[in-house]
Structure formats: structure tokens, C-alpha cells
């Protein structure tokens, strides 16, 4: 089983814990991670794009000029695509991009990324993150104590308004809870910070 140090908010080692090998110690499946991330991004698309075809634009009703004898190319309607303000040929129309991915694949993708974080030493575990009030400066100091720089995802076991609102003002940092984590966010952020409570909850959910 992989082991990791548990740090305090001051950056000092508190103890060492063992991580569940089935979640934090598997061989990462890059193909499944890619599949799930593409699905996640597709599901975020609104699909509201719309262009007007020649039947939807104004104008037309008669030929612009007679078929022969003018020296100009024959035209049937000013609503044709080649005309200014004409209809759009083969343009995008509203559609639904959403599709489903097997639940086992989604869970495998998350376990794969979590295992990658351990292998690449991008996972930090703290004993707890608590604030009596909303104070961004204190969370900045905590991240400095943990020697964490760059894009960081902080995962809490449950909603904590003071911590979440303190983190959201820090550039490149996102706060989330265990119930809402996804493979896209885990890959997007270079560093992953979990509380000891988050580790236990993840092991309960993804065991």
C-alpha cells in the first residue's frame, strides 16, 4: 500500500497514513481517462448555435433578373447562399452533445488520476483545514507552508463556507468537495490537496 505524510496547516509532519491501493495505487488507465474527459467536455456544451438557411432569411419571391440575355449569371433567388444576407449552406443548427459513459469507467478514470497524483508526487494530505472566518490571506499562508505553487485543487470532505470562500479568491486555486470531484478537474490542476477526512471519504465512495 502506498504511504503518504500527513501535514499540518503549518507544513509540519503530523503522521504517516496508508492509502487504499485500489484507489491510490493502481496502474493508471490513460485511455479511460481520455474517454471520460472528452465526455465531460462534451456534456458542458450548450449546443445553442444556430444559422439561418435560405428558407429562414428575408427576401426572395421572384427571380432577381430574367434567365437569359442580361450577360449576368443566372440567379433564382436573392436568398441563395452566394448572396449577401442570403441563407447559410450547411451551417450549424441546435443539437445536443450530451452522451453517457459507463459508471465503472468514470470511477476508474478518477482512481487512475488519483494514482497518477501519488506517482508524480502531486498529492498533499493535510490533517484538517479550518477557519473561524473568511480569510484569504490565511489560506495563502497555508499553501505557502505546504510549499504548494501553481494550479491547485483543494478537496474537502464536505462543504465548509469559510474555507471555500477563502480559497476562491486565490488565482489558480479551486475548492471542491468529495461528492463533486471529476476526472477533468483532477487532470486540469497540477496539485491536489486532500484533508485526512477527504481521503477517508474517497476510500469509502470509490472502494
Cα 178 from Cα 200, distance rounded (Å): 10
For residue 98, the model assigns a pLDDT of: 96
In 3-state terms, what secondary structure has residue 185? helix
Whether pLDDT at 70 is above 90:
yes
Cα 111 from Cα 118, distance rounded (Å): 11
Task: Tell me the pLDDT tens digit for each residue of 110-163.
Answer: 999 999 999 999 999 999 998 999 999 999 999 999 999 899 999 999 999 999
Cα 63 from Cα 30, distance rounded (Å): 59
Structural domains in the chain plus CATH codes: 3-45+99-206 (3.40.1370.10), 47-96 (no CATH)
Q: How far is CA 18 from the centre of its chain?
A: 28
For residue 61, the model assigns a pLDDT of: 84
pTM of the model: 0.84
Q: How far is CA 61 from CA 64, 66, 71, 77, 81, in A?
A: 9, 14, 22, 7, 15
Amino acid at each position: 500500500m502506498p504511504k503518504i505524510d500527513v501535514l499540518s496547516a503549518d507544513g509540519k509532519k503530523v503522521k504517516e497514513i496508508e492509502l487504499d491501493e485500489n484507489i491510490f495505487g493502481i496502474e493508471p488507465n490513460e485511455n479511460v481517462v481520455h474517454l471520460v474527459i472528452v465526455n465531460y467536455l462534451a456534456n458542458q456544451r450548450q449546443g445553442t448555435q444556430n444559422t439561418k438557411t435560405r428558407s429562414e432569411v428575408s427576401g426572395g419571391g421572384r427571380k432577381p433578373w430574367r434567365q437569359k440575355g442580361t450577360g449576368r449569371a443566372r440567379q433564382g433567388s436573392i436568398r441563395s447562399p452566394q448572396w449577401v444576407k442570403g441563407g447559410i449552406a450547411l451551417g450549424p443548427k441546435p443539437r445536443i452533445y450530451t452522451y453517457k459513459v459507463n459508471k465503472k469507467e468514470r470511477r476508474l478514470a478518477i482512481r487512475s488520476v488519483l494514482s497518477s497524483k501519488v506517482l508524480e508526487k502531486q498529492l498533499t494530505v493535510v490533517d484538517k483545514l479550518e477557519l473561524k472566518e473568511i480569510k484569504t490571506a490565511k489560506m495563502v499562508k497555508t499553501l505557502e507552508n505546504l510549499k504548494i505553487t501553481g494550479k491547485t485543487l483543494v478537496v474537502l470532505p464536505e462543504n465548509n463556507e469559510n474555507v471555500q470562500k477563502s480559497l476562491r479568491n486565490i488565482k489558480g486555486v479551486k475548492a471542491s468537495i468529495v461528492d463533486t470531484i471529476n476526472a477533468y478537474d483532477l487532470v486540469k490542476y497540477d496539485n491536489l490537496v486532500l484533508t485526512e477526512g477527504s481521503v477517508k471519504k474517497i476510500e469509502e465512495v470509490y472502494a
